[in-house]
Amino acid sequence: MKIKKLSKLDIKNNPDVNSRFLTVSIKTVLPNYKIYKGDFYLDSFNYFPITKDNFSFGLFRWKANSDYNHFFTKKFYSIFKRNIKDFKVFNNVVVIGASPNNNYYRNLITYIPRILFIIDKRINLAIHRNSSNRLRIFIEDFLKKRGVRINKFIYLDDGFYSFKNSQIPQFFSKKSSVKILNKVFKKKYINKDRIYLTRKNANFRKIINESDLINELKSKNFKIIDLESLSIDRQIDIFSSAEIVISPTGSALANIVFCNKGSKIFEIKPIYKYEYENDLKSRYSDICKLLEFEYFSIEADPIPTDSYDENIKKFIDNNILKQSNYYKNLLVKTNEFKKLISKI
């Protein structure tokens, strides 16, 4: 026996399963949004619910379809059923989830848009234990403004859980998430600020010769900003008023979803060499295409780093850490940088 995947049509044609879905309509954002309500199991990495009658649903995929193939094997089903009695049980919970390694890009693009569709006024909210305080504060404050109170956060560790009489909202495509974040969460400010995002405190993709760039940037009235200690709401303010954003590749650059029309985005990129880097390569240029921003980029030379924190080592294969320039620091050719910002 194996887990069976149901499409939207399968759900519609199965009255029992269809009755477990709530439909939420926000016409200006998404008119037909689905929330599963009932009993289900899921892991705290994929947040891919499996029902007690062994169904799963395409609505809950946020990665490539091939990344879910293991859920539909006999081997997975055998291990899943053998361990099911040991899953910790939660009751009456809304599962939003969060990145297990607290990746800001992933939290912003994949998880935050789902909070818009919470319908109950008092909830217990499940997120990953590794999520940052600023993510929790942002979610709590945003829901409070919408009249939703969080009784308590349910913190998930790595592994599988059993949820009873609980809810889990569907995931969005990247395109839908970007549109929702830009439409709902950005502030309607005037584009006036020029900002450069420093990664001076990051583990990798720091600009080794950043001081050379900063001198040039200050001559063009750029503000040098480190987002590390700023609340998400403050980050939204900063990007909502940005006319020009220059930044090395990094999750903080995902904040361009809060920029207003007419913004210009300049990305300092690693030199990518491998097929598995394709998503990283176009991550921010794709957002610019969706929101019709002007996009420019420059490649920087890789500088090896031996300093990786344990959280990175836990989620990223050691061979990838050694091979990929994404996990190295960067050296920018100053002449090329001057040519890049001459486009301003």
The structure tokens listed for 110 are 């994949």
Within-domain flag for 178? no
- CA-based nearest residue to 178, from 110, 93, 116: 110
Mean pLDDT by 10 residues, the chain (344 residues): 91 94 79 91 96 94 91 95 96 97 95 93 97 96 96 97 97 93 89 92 91 91 93 96 96 96 95 90 96 95 79 75 89 90 80
Q: What pLDDT is attached to residue 9?
A: 92
Domain edge (last residue) among 115, 140, 173: 173
Domain, as residue range, for 19:
4-173
Question: Looking at the structure, do residues 241 and 290 belong to the same domain, yes or no?
Answer: yes
Longest dimension (CA), the chain: 67
Domain edge (last residue) among 173, 196, 213: 173
Question: Looking at the structure, do residues 113 and 233 belong to the same domain, yes or no?
Answer: no
Question: Looking at the structure, do residues 165 and 196 belong to the same domain, yes or no?
Answer: no
Express each pLDDT in 75-90 by its tens digit.
Answer: 999 999 999 999 999 9
Residue 28: count of CB within 10 angstroms of its CB: 7
- Cα distance from N-terminal residue to C-terminal residue, the chain: 60
Question: Looking at the structure, do residues 140 and 200 belong to the same domain, yes or no?
Answer: no
Question: Looking at the structure, do residues 157 and 202 belong to the same domain, yes or no?
Answer: no
Question: Looking at the structure, do residues 143 and 206 belong to the same domain, yes or no?
Answer: no
Q: What pLDDT is attached to residue 28?
A: 67
Within-domain flag for 158? yes
Within-domain flag for 284? yes
In this structure, what are the phi and psi dihedrals at residue 109, rounded to the nearest 5 degrees? -80, -35
Q: What pLDDT is attached to residue 305?
A: 81
The residue whose two tokens read 């026996």 is: 1
Q: What pLDDT is attached to residue 310?
A: 67
∠322-327-332 over CA atoms, to 5°? 120
Identify whether the C-beta of residue 322 lies closer than 8 Å to the C-beta of residue 262: no
What's the residue count for the chain?
A: 344
Question: Looking at the structure, do residues 234 and 326 belong to the same domain, yes or no?
Answer: yes
